[in-house]
């Protein structure tokens, strides 16, 4: 399939017409069934159908390409082109966040659900973000326009890994207690479905290369000298844990993974003085490596959230009009390990990050006793 490497490890794919047709025919067929299901049931079903499509070799080229990102191999971002959604399918751009029952599934969204299944990953949502929704609207909201760190404001949304503050792998408290690898409610992948973007305001990404960071900075960034704080859009300070974490980490000797919310990260007071400089070096490396993605409506972007940071450029002069036709994406976070998020679920596929913090507190109490 026409497959362009836009930037190192960032690919744009144009599915071959027959595979696209398969997805579209199925989306049409599934819509009447899907509209009557809860979001949890929708994604469970779509993931199953997508997985079967992949097993039965119905969309071999799309499956092959997605394998490169679902295995955390060489692709780190994949933009999959698709037909531009029409107004009849998706309706108007919402002006506010919606209750789950008003967040109607579209054919375009069914295509993304199938793609999640083809990838072999599972969608979930948070109580702290558009509660009860697995599918989150990324829209401009008039009354949030002056806030920083929310996608609803037209200001630039700085580079971040999604839900960085919910990742407490190896995090340490002030008594030196260290959390194991299962203290993590943040996603492995992030998927964005572009529905409207009249002024082409880009989503941008950055894929850091640890080899281009000085060894000294790399060492400091691998120590628990930092704290990623929670943006208002992710539930705000109530979701901040009393734990310090590193920016660079790995699991079972993996290549380096990253977690950072560049607009809202602090270096702890007791860290060596150079720790702050190391963070500055890393953020400037991220800026150097940043790249604007193609953002045409109909595109579904899959981002490896362990290794890639993303953000959104400022709206600039093209301010939102709040007229039902502003920029609109739908975001879904995903994991390939539902058992990992189970302890934090308040209902199937809905995670409360406070559960993570509570479990950390119980663990600490047991260690002290
Ligand atoms: O609006 C965008 O392009 C990106 C927003 C974002 O960071 C997100 O949805 O997680
Ligand atoms: Fe984000």
pLDDT tens column, 102-153: 999 999 999 999 999 999 999 999 999 999 999 999 999 999 999 888 899 9
At 2 the pLDDT is: 60
Does 157 have pLDDT greater than 90?
yes
Domain that includes residue 158, residue range: 3-368
Does 369 have pLDDT greater than 70?
no
DSSP letters for 162-228:
TTGGGB-TT-B-TT--B--TT-B-S-SEEEEEEEE-TT-PPEEEE---GGGS-HHHHHHHTSS-EEE
Residue 253, domain CATH: 3.60.130.10
DSSP character at residue 268 = -
* Residue from 292, 315, 331, 333 to probe ligand 1 pocket by mutation (most atoms less than 8 Å from CB): 331
- Domains in the chain: how many in total? 1
Does 311 have pLDDT greater than 90?
yes
Parallel, antiparallel, or unpaired: how do β-strands 77-80 and 10-13 relate?
parallel
Parallel, antiparallel, or unpaired: how do β-strands 350-351 and 122-126 relate?
parallel
* Residue from 151, 191, 309, 318 to probe ligand 1 pocket by mutation (most atoms less than 8 Å from CB): 151
> Minimum mean pLDDT among 144-153, 214-223, 304-313, 333-342: which range?
144-153
Is there an atom of ligand 1 within 6 Å of 157 CB?
yes
Q: Can you tell me the mean pLDDT for 223-238?
A: 89
Is there an atom of ligand 1 within 6 Å of 231 CB?
no
Is there an atom of ligand 1 within 6 Å of 327 CB?
no
Q: Residues 8-50: pLDDT tens digits?
A: 999 999 999 999 999 999 999 999 999 999 999 999 999 999 9
Q: Judge whether 228 and 165 are in contact, CB under 8 Å.
A: yes
At 236 the pLDDT is: 85
- Rg over alpha carbons for the chain, rounded to the nearest Å, is 20
């Amino acid at each position: 399939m026409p497959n362009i490497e836009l930037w190192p490890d960032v690919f744009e794919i144009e599915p071959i017409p027959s595979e696209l047709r398969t997805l579209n025919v199925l989306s049409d067929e599934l819509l009447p069934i899907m509209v009557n299901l809860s979001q949890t049931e929708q994604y469970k079903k779509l993931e199953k159908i997508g997985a079967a499509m992949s097993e039965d070799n119905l969309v071999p080229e799309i499956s092959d390409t997605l394998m490169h990102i679902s295995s955390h191999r060489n692709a780190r971002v994949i933009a999959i082109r698709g037909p531009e959604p029409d107004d009849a399918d998706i309706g108007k751009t919402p002006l506010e966040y919606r209750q789950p029952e008003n967040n109607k599934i579209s054919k375009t969204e069914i295509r993304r659900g199938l793609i999640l299944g083809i990838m072999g990953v599972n969608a979930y949502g948070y109580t702290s973000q558009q509660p009860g929704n697995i599918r989150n609207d990324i829209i401009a909201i008039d009354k949030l326009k002056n806030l920083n760190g929310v996608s609803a404001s037209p200001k630039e949304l700085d580079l971040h890994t999604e839900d960085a503050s919910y990742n407490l792998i190896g995090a340490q408290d002030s008594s030196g207690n260290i959390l194991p690898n299962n203290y993590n409610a943040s996603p492995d992948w992030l998927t964005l479905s572009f529905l409207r973007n009249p002024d082409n305001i880009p989503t941008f990404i950055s894929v850091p290369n640890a080899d281009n960071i000085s060894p000294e900075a790399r060492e400091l960034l691998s120590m628990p000298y930092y704290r990623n704080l929670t943006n208002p859009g992710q539930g705000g300070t109530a979701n901040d844990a009393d734990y310090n974490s590193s920016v660079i980490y790995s699991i079972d000797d993996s290549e380096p993974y990253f977690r950072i919310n560049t607009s809202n990260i602090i270096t702890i007071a007791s860290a060596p003085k150079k720790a702050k400089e190391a963070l500055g070096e890393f953020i400037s490396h991220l800026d150097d490596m940043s790249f604007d993605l193609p953002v045409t409506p109909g595109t579904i972007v899959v981002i490896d959230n362990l290794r890639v940071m993303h953000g959104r450029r400022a709206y600039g002069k093209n301010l939102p009009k709040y007229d039902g036709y502003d920029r609109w994406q739908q975001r879904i976070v995903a994991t390939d390990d539902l058992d990992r998020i189970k302890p934090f679920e308040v209902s199937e596929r809905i995670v409360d990050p406070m559960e993570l913090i509570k479990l950390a507190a119980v663990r600490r109490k047991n260690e002290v006793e």
